[in-house]
Structure formats: C-alpha cells, structure tokens
C-alpha cells in the first residue's frame, strides 16, 4: 500500500507501469480498487495511478475535507507531490466530476479526459442516491455478484458523509457550463443500463463542443469497466493512442470487439 500525507492526513494511492502519467478517479461508490484491470491494461505504456478520495478506501476520514472543492483540489495536490506536471484523467461518477472541474481550473495540467457516467447537465440525480445507505447503494450500483466481492467489501468501507457532501455540491453545480468551458479533448462513456439513468443522448452530443465525443456500452450498467472490461480497455487504449491532432469522433466500439467479448 502506498500513501502520502496531504494537509496532515493520509491519502492512499496505487501505481503501476512506466511512461506518461495517467490518473484514475473513482466514483460515488467504490475506491481505487475497481480500476485495477484498466490500470493493468494501461501500464504497458503509461504510469497509471489510482487514488482514494477523502473518506473512501484507505484515505483519511476527516469530514472537514469532504467538500467537492477539497476532493478536486486533492487531485492537484497529489500531482504536485508525485511530480506530475500534466496527466490524462480517467474519472467515473464523482471522479468524472472532479476531473472535469479540475481540468477547467487547470487546463495546462490536463492532456485529455475519459469520463464515465458523468451526470447529464439537466438530469437530477436519483433520490435513491441521495437518501440510500452505503449498503443499499453498493447493492444497487455494483451488484451482489461473488466475482465482485473484493470491490464490494472495499466500497462498504466508505464514509457515507463523504458521499452526501459531494452530492449536495453537485446538485448546485452547473455541469453544462463546465463542459463548455473545458478546453481539452473529452470522451464520455455511458452504460446503457446504468440505474442512475442514461444522461448521454444523441441530442446532447449535437450540443457539445467538437472536442467531446460519446460512446455507449450496450451491456453495461454503472460500471462499464467491470461489466465489459475487455471492451472498456480496448476503448481506453484507442483513446490513449490518439495524438493531439486526431479527433475523438473516430473512437467507436468496433463490431469485432463485440463479437469477440460477448
């Protein structure tokens, strides 16, 4: 286990591989751990980091640090401590929002973003997410499959107050404004069967700036990286392989992937 001290508190992280930096940010339910398959896939060419937000995983439980602003600034402080000047960001749920906000505030520190399950700008978060216990939310979003027992156990350790503070802030956040302020290429990934809803739509895509692109996983819920890991990791690899002059619009779930992993 790797840790560093920020604001006199413990931040837990893990790292795999060598190369350019890539940072994975977990969601409302979970921790760094569910990123392991994606980290392993990326580590051949990237130095892949995953950290736990305040109140999650092995990071400190200090309620004074649970605001969305603090969770976002944690990313910048982490990069400073690790000597990372600029990074690709891969975020999910809460991590997607923190990554988007950080990129708007620090455009020179972000190369590109891959954001999974980013809430829609006009779609309210379900009441169950705001009112449910962590046990209920883990069952609802992650499921009860024995294959996910490690991720479930890790998720249940989170402080519910960290989740609720983040949700309160998100409800007051203008995500549409953030999206239009973003200057970096951004790939949006959604699971068609996400119980939180399907905020990504073709109509929304038409409104987004040209440096945004959406991809939908037909057989996935809230966790495409776990529901369809082979396809997710292939998409991640293609996303990382694009040079700065190439458009994200060419990124698609190719038919041969679908046939191979079904």
- Measured between alpha carbons, how far is 138 from 248 in angstroms, rounded to an integer? 32
- Measured between alpha carbons, how far is 173 from 258 in angstroms, rounded to an integer? 36
- CA 78 vs. chain centroid, Å, equals 16
For residue 192, CA distances in Å to 84, 134, 184 come to 34, 23, 25
Residue 60, number of CB atoms within 10 A of its CB: 19
Q: Give the model's confidence band at 198: pLDDT under 50 very low, under 70 low, under 90 confident, else very high.
A: low
The topology (CATH level 3) of 2-261 is Rossmann fold (3.40.50)
- Measured between alpha carbons, how far is 2 from 49 in angstroms, rounded to an integer? 11
What does the pLDDT look like over 121-152, one tens digit per residue? 666 788 888 888 899 999 999 998 899 999 99
Residue 10, number of CB atoms within 10 A of its CB: 15
- Looking at per-residue pLDDT, the higher value among 249 and 167 belongs to 167
What does the pLDDT look like over 220-258, one tens digit per residue? 999 999 999 999 999 999 999 988 656 677 677 654 444
The three-class DSSP label of residue 48 is strand
Reported pTM: 0.92
Residue 177 per-residue DSSP state = H
- Measured between alpha carbons, how far is 129 from 195 in angstroms, rounded to an integer? 10
Task: Say if CB 91 and CB 49 are below 8 A apart.
Answer: no
């Amino acid at each position: 286990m790797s840790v560093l001290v920020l604001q006199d508190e413990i931040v837990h992280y893990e790292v795999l591989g060598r190369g350019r930096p890539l940072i994975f940010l977990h969601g409302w339910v979970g921790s760094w751990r569910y990123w392991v398959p994606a980290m392993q896939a990326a580590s051949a060419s990237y130095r892949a980091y995953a950290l736990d937000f305040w109140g999650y995983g092995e990071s400190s439980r200090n309620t004074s640090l649970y605001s969305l602003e603090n969770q976002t600034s944690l990313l910048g402080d982490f990069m400073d401590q690790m000597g990372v000047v600029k990074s690709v960001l891969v975020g999910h749920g809460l991590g997607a929002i923190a990554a988007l906000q950080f990129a708007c505030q620090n455009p020179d520190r972000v190369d590109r973003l891959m954001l999974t399950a980013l809430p829609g700008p006009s779609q309210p978060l379900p009441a169950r997410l705001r009112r449910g216990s962590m046990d209920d939310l883990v069952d609802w979003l992650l499921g009860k499959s024995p294959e996910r027992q490690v991720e479930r156990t890790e998720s249940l350790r989170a402080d519910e107050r960290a989740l609720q503070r983040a949700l309160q802030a998100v409800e007051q956040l203008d995500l549409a404004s953030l999206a239009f302020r973003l200057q970096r290429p951004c790939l949006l990934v959604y699971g068609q069967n996400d119980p939180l809803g399907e905020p990504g739509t073709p109509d929304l895509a038409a409104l987004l700036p040209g440096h945004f692109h959406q991809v939908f996983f037909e057989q996935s819920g809230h966790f495409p990286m776990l529901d369809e890991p082979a396809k997710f990791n292939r998409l991640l690899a293609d996303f990382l392989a694009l040079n700065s002059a190439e458009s994200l619009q060419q990124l698609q779930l190719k038919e041969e992937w679908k046939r191979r992993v079904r």
